[in-house]
Structure 1
Amino acid sequence: MAGSTGANSSSNPSPAPPPPKILLAKPGLVTGGPINSKIGRGTGADDEAASIRSRLPSLGSLNLLSDSWDLHIDRFLPFLTENTEFKVVGIIGPPGVGKSTIMNEIYGYDGSSPGMLPPFPILSEDVRAMARHCTLGIEPRISSERIILLDTQPVFSPSVLAEIMRPDGSSTISVISGEPLSAELAHELMSIQLGILLASICNIVLVISEGVHDLNMWQLMLTVDLLKHGLPDPSSPISSHPQNSNIGSEKEYKEKTSSSEDYMATPIFVHAKNLDVDGEDRRLLVIPNRNKDDSTRGQYESFNLALWKLRDQVLSMNGASFSRTVSERDWLKNSVKIWESVKSSPIVMEYARTLQSSGMFRR
């Protein structure tokens, strides 16, 4: 379980690593109570709060994945500590199924507090009407329980496909080792790579699908399990491969990684927008439709109650354990090496070539 890293009592003689000066949230949270309540009020407090904010990166630019599909950690690293008692929870799913809403609940966001913005942006009706998405790449946040939350851009999303497609149909993003790909194929591989990364660096991965009849996310995670080979957890990552090197055959790659035990985060499959379904399996949860009046009419349980149960389960679960003790900061640094291994994996490359030659990918 995640825990606090700092000591609250002054009587404790042994010093502990200090927690970050603020918890990661949206700018509205940073400029309000959390800082002022800690350092006092008045002109001096305002000056110190401004000094703290000037030393921290902009919260609107904390995305771990850049437009070039590279993992950048310099902006997020200042929010992490040498604490080793933490948990990493990622989420993946198609657009509009409530991923950010679920992550806000796990974070502990209280929407009833005036002036408090959600740590993860929620898809508005205007954005939805424009057929766009609001989460780009991977957006990280840290809860007070030292849970690192990773919200991801939607998979199999027409808006993501539209953003990466050139007029000639090719992809603007080099998904694997600089190989030119069609936008449709690159779009599908992006979803697979996101799944592989989350399965490699998280303790728990929430897999969200739209209803019990939506099998797309089940199939995606089966593909992730198939292609995720030789990638350990972030406490003992394999060396990343140079993108311009000849890695060789899949057999050589397996020999390189044979000493590394495969790691897989614990998946929790969540069906959103379900009616009259009882989710008893601890790895299969259902969330009903959100009625405008939040009534339970025609539903097994209310939307809010289902979210609370999901949050309680995630907080109480340990999930898959890393093989060695690792700090928050080292976890992030090692995740970069894992991401480079994902992008240069010959197994994923061969899978991409098979899809390209067969034409069996989403169009």
Structure 2
Amino acid sequence: MAGSTGGGSSSNPSPAPPPPKILLAKPSSGPLPGKFARGAGEDENVPHRSRLPPVGSLNLLSDSWDFHIDRFLPFLTENTDFTVVGIIGPPGVGKSTIMNEIYGFDGTSPGMLPPFAIQSEEIRVSARHCTVGIEPRISAERFILLDTQPVFSPSVLAEIMRPDGSSMIPVLSGESLSAELAHELMGIQLGVLLSSICHILLVVSEGVHDNNMWRLLLTVDLLKHSIPDPSSPMLSHPQSSSLGPEKESRDKLHVGAEYMATPIFVHTKDDSPKAQYESYISTLWKLRDQVLSMACPSFSRTLSEREWLKNSAKIWEL
């Protein structure tokens, strides 16, 4: 089904075996800005991918909780027909596996690595997480997929905690906070950002009775109303570089109808006695079909992939 990868046959009678590949759609073949621009004497036969940043450094949101656009920007184009799908949930519920399926990854293809790393048995046993911040990928169909670090994660909490119990990550204007409070705020910030910049937000939990996730979404819903969508014209205003937490700035940015990503609730376990089970792969296929075929909400105006990314960084400042 989904996820087959194309490849042409070579006329060379003895082709070298291809190296393992990361599934990541290439940007357009036109010139790229800055340090990724084509050089005057550059060999046009050099693969385009070699001039792009390493996949491992693409994180939009880093482990220091800083938003970066320069790493992912070269993979985006001026195309305006794209869909942003984000995901949020606790550790070990299969978020990266779901995103790989939506991408169209075919695990049966030899030598192919999944676009999103999945939790190995070693990581599971050591109680660690394999996704840091926000890891983006973009499919050939121009689906921008945002995999995220887990919320309510003991391993994330352990990583940000100093010996005295304070947080190593300044999540509120450099204010010193306890690690527990900072960890909770990080989950809220992540939820507000995703609901502001995505068309579809997958909310994954083990079951419908995950009260922590429901409380998180209620908090996100309360805080989201002061945040514009990425296409707000005020985000592109020259004065937007000085965005601050002041109410006046928020009121100027809050124009038009309120926007929020469409949530899809995904439960990876069903403990009800009447639950009808089907194969895991079949369920993933159905979820992928639903995501790819659903009518997504529109931003307030048309914008390109590159504009979306730049304005998403400004939303993060809010």
TM class by shorter chain equals 0.7 to 0.9
Instruction: Give the % identical residues.
Output: 72
Superposed CA deviations along residues 179-202 of structure 1, whole A, max 9, x for unmatched, are 111000000000000000000000
8 Å CA contact retained: 2:232, 2:255: no
How does 1:172-187 map onto structure 2 within 5 Å?
A: 172-187=168-183
Matched, 1:195 2:191: yes
Matched, 1:307 2:284: yes
Distance in 1 (CA, whole Å) between partners of 2:200 and 2:48 is 32
- 3-state SS in 2 of match to 1:267: strand
How many positions carry a matched residue from both structures?
281
Q: 1:119 to 1:30 in 2, by over 3 A?
A: closer
Residue 151 (structure 2) aligns with = 155
Range that drifts further, 215-224 or 87-96: 215-224
8 Å CA contact retained: 1:237, 1:334: no
8 Å CA contact retained: 1:231, 1:261: no
Using structure 2 for the length normalisation, give the TM-score: 0.81
Offset, 1:52: 2.2
Q: 1:229 to 1:155 in 2, by over 3 A?
A: same
Superposed CA deviations along residues 270-308 of structure 1, whole A, max 9, x for unmatched, are 111225688xxxxxxxxxxxxxxxxxxx85211111111
Q: 1:258 to 1:200 in 2, by over 3 A?
A: closer
Find 2:219's aligned residue among 220, 223, 226: 223
8 Å CA contact retained: 2:256, 2:300: no
Find 2:135's aligned residue among 127, 132, 139: 139
Output the amino acid matched with 1:327: S
Q: 1:74 to 1:254 in 2, by over 3 A?
A: closer
Using structure 1 for the length normalisation, give the TM-score: 0.72
Find 2:264's aligned residue among 268, 275, 284: 268
Matched, 1:90 2:83: no
8 Å CA contact retained: 2:199, 2:261: yes
8 Å CA contact retained: 1:275, 1:300: no
Residue 21 (structure 2) aligns with = 29
Q: 1:49 to 1:60 in 2, by over 3 A?
A: farther
Residue 321 (structure 1) aligns with = 298
Matched, 1:80 2:57: no
Instruction: Give unmatched runs, 5+ long, in structure 2.
Output: 1-18, 27-42
How does 1:244-263 map onto structure 2 within 5 Å?
A: 247-248=245-246, 252=248, 255-259=251-255, 261-263=257-259
Superposed CA deviations along residues 154-190 of structure 1, whole A, max 9, x for unmatched, are 0010000001001111111110111111000000000
8 Å CA contact retained: 2:188, 2:219: yes
Output the amino acid matched with 1:28: P
Residue 213 (structure 1) aligns with = 209
RMSD (Å), alpha carbons: 2.6
Distance in 1 (CA, whole Å) between partners of 2:90 and 2:258 is 26
Residue 337 (structure 1) aligns with = 314
